[in-house]
Structure 1
Amino acid sequence: MSIFKPLIRFADFRGRSDRSELLQFLMLSLTLLLSVAYLWGMGWGLADGLRGAPPRSPAPVAQYLGLLLLLPALSLSIRRLHDIDRSGWWLLLNLVPGGIAVLIVFLLQDGGVGDNRFGPPQPTAQAGGATASA
């Protein structure tokens, strides 16, 4: 599975996504955010240090990157909820105090084995490069 699959399917709210796709996307997002913050700090910190100005915060760049990753994260979360046979409307639990804990448990649950109302499970790669439905 490609680590960039959630970015390729950024506006696909139908179907299902497995837990490994979610975890790979979280690792990619974290790596991108930390890399951008580090490079911003190094670049502007050096430039500001040479001018004698206080260093700038990487917050604006991290916010833009967060906005860029918002739609892929939303679609992946909905597909992940579909994998455990729940509607995407469960994401509204983010608006309830303590609801994010329930969502984390939902998103980290193992997906259904067979078909559900949202479609067949996502194909998984087998040893030898062939794909088959799990």
Structure 2
Amino acid sequence: MEWMILPLKRYAQFSGRSPRREYWMFVLFNIIVSIVLSIVDTVLGLGGHTSSYSASGPGSYAAGAGTSGGILSGLWSLAILIPSIAVGVRRLHDVNRSGWWMLAPVLVLGVAMVSALARLGANPDASMFGFGIFFMVAMLIGLIVSILLLVWACTRGTIGPNRFGPDPYAPIDDLQETFR
């Protein structure tokens, strides 16, 4: 449980390193809390809703469900925004990468959106075929960078100290020092 809430204790600490355990336990903690809050929002009528669907007919087998959060889920997402970014940056530091890599997918999609708005503003009657190809390439690059970030999040950190700090798994005298 300590690993799940450690990023909350290190709320806006962007320096240092976070091992895989801290990062993924925090992700698991966020998923659990988000599901519970979505259910509570739905039950209390605070704007959340649950939907389900099923396909019927010959040979159909699709079924699914989804929830969207309400007020409590939105507040939770806002509250954990900074610790989520901070633990992601520290996780990248652990694999000896700059935390600025977290912005790469956002920047790629941002450039595509700005290009779309500029093209529409310049000539609204122009064909969007060329831009459609550009936008698809930008989305593909964004997907590749996102997969790269996922791979780095799953990779073991640098053994020993690196340019971002000491190894979080290095032996320490007092275990409580880790969770202060």
The interval holding the TM-score normalised by the smaller chain is 0.7 to 0.9
Aligned to 2:155: 109
SS of the equivalent of 1:4 reads: helix
How far is the alpha carbon of 1:89 from its aligned partner? 1.0
| Higher-Rg member (1/2) | 2
| Aligned residue pairs, count | 119
Per-residue CA shift, 1:29-50, capped at 9, x if unaligned? Answer: 01111111111112228xxxxx
Question: 1:83 pairs with 90, 94, 100, which one?
Answer: 94
Q: Which amino acid aligns with 1:80?
A: R
Say if 2:15 is the partner of 1:14.
Answer: yes
SS of the equivalent of 2:147 reads: helix
Indicate conservation of the 8 Å contact 1:82/1:88, yes or no.
Answer: yes
Aligned to 1:58: 69
TM-score (norm 1): 0.78
Partner Cα distance (1:6, 1:58) in 2: 23
Structure 2 vs 1, CA of residues 125 and 5 (structure 1 numbering), >3 Å: closer, same or farther? farther
TM-score (norm 2): 0.59
Q: Which amino acid aligns with 1:105?
A: V
How far is the alpha carbon of 1:124 from its aligned partner? 6.5
Question: 1:119 pairs with 165, 168, 171, which one?
Answer: 165
SS of the equivalent of 2:45 reads: helix
Query: Is 117-126 or 99-108 further displaced after alignment?
Result: 117-126
RMSD (Å), alpha carbons:
2.5
Structure 2 vs 1, CA of residues 24 and 125 (structure 1 numbering), >3 Å: closer, same or farther? farther
How far is the alpha carbon of 1:90 from its aligned partner? 1.0
Per-residue CA shift, 1:40-75, capped at 9, x if unaligned? Answer: 112228xxxxxxxxxxx6334322211111100000
Question: 2:82 pairs with 65, 71, 76, which one?
Answer: 71
Indicate conservation of the 8 Å contact 2:161/2:167, yes or no.
Answer: yes
Indicate conservation of the 8 Å contact 1:16/1:79, yes or no.
Answer: yes
Partner Cα distance (2:28, 2:162) in 1: 28
Indicate conservation of the 8 Å contact 1:93/1:103, yes or no.
Answer: no
